[in-house]
Amino acid sequence: MHSREEKLAAFGRLLDIMDDLREKCPWDRKQTFDSLRQNTIEETYELATAISRHDMDEISKELGDVLLHVIFYAKMGSEEKWNFSGSPEEDEPRDSFDIADVCNRLCDKLIFRHPHVYGTNDQIVNGQIVNDTDVSHLWEQVKLKEKGGNKTVLGGIPDSLPSLIKAYRIQDKVANVGFDWEKREDVWDKVKEEIAEFEAELETPPQPSPQGEGEQKHNQKMDAEFGDLLFSLINAARLYKIRPDNALEQTNLKFIRRFNYLEAKAKEQGRDLKDMSLAEMDALWEEAKANEQLSINN
C-alpha cells in the first residue's frame, strides 16, 4: 500500500491534470454541471456493478471514474464564470467553491455526526455507543440538529433514488427513531396481509363504464396493492439484515447466467428458442442449475 505522502501526491497530480484538461481540452472545457449529470449517474452504476461482481480491479477503475467527476464538479465550482446551462448570462451569480471546500465540509460533517468519536459523553445517546445500531440511531438524531441539514426524519432521502433502494432507506430511517416492529417475526403477518389484499384485487373484476374508467381504476388499485406488497417484503429484508437491492441483483446475475447457458445449448443443437417448447427450455434450465450446483460442490 502507498504511504500518506504518496496518496497526497497522487491526489495533487489529479488536480493538476484536471486544471490542464479544463483549460486545454475542447470537450472538457465546454462541460457544465448539467452536461455531466447523466455521465455521473452512469459511472455510479458502473461502480455498483463492479461491486456486485466483487471485482476488485474493476472497482478500483470505476472509483477513479467517480472521483474524476467529483474533481470535475469542484473545478467548475471554483471558476469565476461557472454556470449550469452553458450560457453564463442565463444563470444568476452563485457562491463559488473548490475541492478544499468540498473536503472541509465533508470533514466537518463527519466530525459533527460522530460525537461518539470526536465529542463528549453528554453528546452520546444514553452516554454510550455499543454497536452499529446505536450509531445509526445517533446519526438520525444528530442530522436533525445539523446546520443546513435535514429538518425532518425523511427529508434527506433523494427523490431520484431507485424505488427499491428508496423504500429500504425510508424504512431504515423511521426505524432509527423507533417506528419499527417490536419483533421482526411480526413483519410476516403484514406480508401475508398484503399478499391477500393483492390477490383479492386481482380477483375483483373492474367496474364497467362507458369511457373505460373502471379498467383504469382497477389497474391503479392493482399497482397500489402490488406496491404495498413489495414495500412489506423490503421491510422484511431489512429486519433480517438483507439488502434487497443486492439480493435482487445477485438473482438477476444468476438468471442471466442460466439463460445464457440455455441459449448457448439451443444454438449448439441448431435450435431457435422461439421454436422450442417450454418443456424443452425448462430441461436446459435445470441442466444449467445442476451444473452450477456441481461447480459449487467442487
Give the number of domains in the chain: 3
Q: What is the pLDDT of residue 157?
A: 82
Which grid cell sits at 114?
460522530
Q: What is the pLDDT of residue 10?
A: 96
- Are both 8 and 81 inside the same structural domain? yes
- Are both 26 and 53 inside the same structural domain? yes
Q: What is the pLDDT of residue 148?
A: 60
In this structure, what CATH number is given to the domain that contains residue 17?
A: 1.10.287.1080
- Are both 238 and 256 inside the same structural domain? no
Does residue 17 lie within any of the structural domains? yes
- Are both 8 and 73 inside the same structural domain? yes
- Are both 219 and 253 inside the same structural domain? no
Extract the residue ranges of the chain whose pLDDT is less than 70: 80-95, 120-150, 210, 212, 298
Does residue 234 lie within any of the structural domains? yes
- Are both 223 and 251 inside the same structural domain? no
Q: Could you say which of 60, 85, 110 is where a domain stops? A: 85
Q: What is the per-residue pLDDT across 177-210, written as a single tens digit (0 to 9) for each?
A: 889 999 999 999 999 999 999 999 999 887 777 6
Q: What is the pLDDT of residue 14?
A: 96
CA–CA dist 246, 274 (Å, integer): 32
- Are both 58 and 17 inside the same structural domain? yes
Q: What is the pLDDT of residue 130?
A: 53
Which residue has cell 452553458? 86
Q: Could you say which of 24, 50, 85 is where a domain stops? A: 85
Q: Could you say which of 221, 242, 263 is where a domain stops? A: 242
- Are both 81 and 13 inside the same structural domain? yes
Instruction: Please provide the DSSP assignment of the chain as one string.
Output: ---HHHHHHHHHHHHHHHHHHHHH-HHHHH--HHHHHHHHHHHHHHHHHHHHTT-HHHHHHHHHHHHHHHHHHHHHHHSTT--SSS-GGGS-------HHHHHHHHHHHHHHH-HHHHS-GGGSGGG---SHHHHHHHHHHHHHHSTTS-SSTTTTS-TTS-HHHHHHHHHHHHHTTT-S-SSGGGHHHHHHHHHHHHHHHHHSPPPP-TTSHHHHHHHHHHHHHHHHHHHHHHHHHHHTT--HHHHHHHHHHHHHHHHHHHHHHHHHTT--GGGS-HHHHHHHHHHHHHHHHHHHH-
Q: Specify the pTM.
A: 0.63
Amino acid at the residue 262: L
Q: What is the per-residue pLDDT across 240-276, written as a single tens digit (0 to 9) for each?
A: 999 898 899 889 989 999 999 999 999 999 999 999 9
Domain that holds residue 275: 247-297
Q: What is the pLDDT of residue 121?
A: 45
Q: What is the pLDDT of residue 123?
A: 46
